[in-house]
Every structure is written in C-alpha cells, then in structure tokens.
Amino acid sequence: MISGTHIWKSFKGKVVNEDVTFSVNKGEVVSFLGPNGGGKTTLMRQIYGELKSDKGEIEIDEMDPYNALDVLGVVPQDVDVMDGLTSFEHIYIMGMLKGLSRREAKEMTEELMERFSIENKKVDALSGGNKRKVLIASALTSSPKYLILDEPTTGLDPQSRREVWNIISDLKRAGTGIILTTHYLEEAEKLSDRIYFLNRKILLFGKTGELRKKFANYYQVINVETGEKYNVREEELLSFIRNLNYKYEIRLPDLDEIYDKVISNEPN
Ligand SMILES: Nc1ncnc2c1ncn2[C@@H]1O[C@H](COP(=O)(O)OP(=O)(O)O)[C@@H](O)[C@H]1O
Ligand SMILES: [Mg+2]
C-alpha cells in the first residue's frame, strides 16, 4: 500500500499541499483530480521521493519513498523521451538502469513493445501518444508494483488517449496499483476505483460510483419540454414536484457540476 498521512508542502510560504491524507492499494487505480495548480504534481514528487514533505509521512509498502524505488514506476508530468534513441533502445536502456541483465532487458523490451504495440522508430519521430507509450513502457521495465502517471493523457489526441486508457486498464487487471493525476473528470471516472479531488487540500474523496450520491445533496429536476433545470435539495424534492404542471425528469447532477461547485468553494 502507498499511504500519505497529513502531508504538508509549501513553496516560499505558499501552501501547495495542505494536510493531505490518502492511500492506494495494490491493484487499485486511484485518481487525484483537480485544476491546474491544484498541487497534484507537487504531491506526486513527494511520493516518488523527489521532494521532501514539510510535515507528514509517506510510506510505500512500509518503506519511505527513498527506499522504495524498486517497487515504484514513475512517468513524471514534464518528462520527455531521450532524443536520438529508438523506441527499443529507450526502453532497453531504462531496463539496464533498473538493474536488469542484457538478456532480461532485451526480453522485457520486446514484451513491452509487443504488448503496447510500440513501433521501433527513432523516438523523436513518434507522435505524442506513442512517445507517452514509450515512457510508460520504460517505467515498467522493473515490473513495479505501483505506477505513478502524472497527467498521462494531457495534450494527446482522442485516439492516443484511449490507447493510454487501455494500457492503464490492462495494468490494473494485472494487479499494478496506479496513481493517476488528471484534470479530466471523465478520465478519472472511467479509469479509477477511487477519486480524490485535490485543490491544495483534499476537498472530496470516495469510490468513483459513490461520489455523486455522497456529495450531491441535491437533484436536478428538468422540464422535459423546455430543458430548464432546477437544483432541488433532497428534502424539498417531494414538495417541489407536487406543484409542477409540466412533464419532468429527475436526475442526479453531473459529476462535472459537483466538481465545479467543489472547486469554486476552494478557500483562497
Ligand atoms: N518548485 C516550485 N517552486 C515554487 N512554486 C512551485 C514549485 N512547484 C510548484 N509550485 C507551485 O505550486 C502550485 C501547485 O503546482 P503543481 O503541484 O504543479 O499543481 P498541479 O500539478 O496540480 O497543476 C502552483 O501554484 C505552482 O506554481
Ligand atoms: Mg501537474
């Protein structure tokens, strides 16, 4: 399990992560969802040991992040492929750096390239989506138990995004614990078992399917003739619809709308 307990991190007096507590189990996909500047990357960098928390504790299978490099694969947000190499060389070299023998690195590279349908070309010439696949494959050469993907689909075209989604689903099925950051609600909902909404603090969290029920204390009543929408609190719903003289539909609000509400409540 990866866990963070009461994590705080500031830059020059500005609090970026405030009292963040979370956990990720093996075989689980957990998303940190939040706007740009919400502190996601800062939190990830503490999990993979690049930054030290000001306060709080992060543990990876009961180790501190500096000793957990063997069990953790990482694709940082701002990382790019190493130009000049072919896809094969890129993944192979990462395997060697992770301590595989030449033979193991070769086999691992072939397997990953086949599994993710990676072409063997100069990485400079690959599309954004294929570069991302090379980076993910490179992070997987050590067969990590956990994988951190910081905004793995930002900037990708829809098809590449779907390919990365498929990779994530496959890895989950194979038992890898995955931490994903995204500002796409749709992506978090589609891929993750649990979601933490992070905007400096954890504003909401829960199982993906339960978030709507848990956090939406209102329903939307929609006039099916005009499309007009009314947000009605649960306790007022019965009396509200009793007085309607048009055809209506009742539904839970979109997670998007819940998200907007949560984000707009963010303390400054
Ligand atoms: N090394 C740094 N020095 C100063 N400020 C930083 C540094 N890294 C991040 N920040 C600030 O911390 C905030 C959160 O950034 P970040 O963690 O990258 O958010 P996210 O990944 O959610 O977009 C931003 O306001 C950013 O400018
Ligand atoms: Mg980021």
Domains in the chain (CATH in brackets) are 2-207 (3.40.50.300), 212-264 (no CATH)
pLDDT value for 204:
87
212 φ, ψ to 5°? -60, -50
Q: Which residue minimizes the CA distance to atom 24 of ligand 1?
A: 37
Q: How buried is 123 (Cβ within 10 angstroms: 0-12 exposed, 13-18 middle, 19+ buried)?
A: buried
Which residues are registered as beta bridge partners of 248? 223
CA separation for the pair 111, 113 (Å, rounded): 6
| Ion ligand 2 neighbours, Cβ < 5 Å | 40-41, 77
What is the value of pTM for the model shown?
A: 0.87
Ligand nearest to the CA of 16: 1
| Two structure tokens written together for 96 | 């060697």
pLDDT value for 266:
52
pLDDT value for 125:
94
CA separation for the pair 58, 49 (Å, rounded): 9
Amino acid at 92: Y
pLDDT value for 265:
61
Q: What residue ranges of the chain have pLDDT lower than 50?
A: 267-268
Inter-residue contact 109 to 88 (CB < 8 Å): yes
Atom of ligand 1 nearest to the CA of 151: 21
Inter-residue contact 178 to 147 (CB < 8 Å): yes
pLDDT value for 268:
39
- Ligand 2 centroid from CA 174, angstroms: 27
pLDDT value for 211:
77
| Two structure tokens written together for 171 | 């890895």
pLDDT value for 70:
87
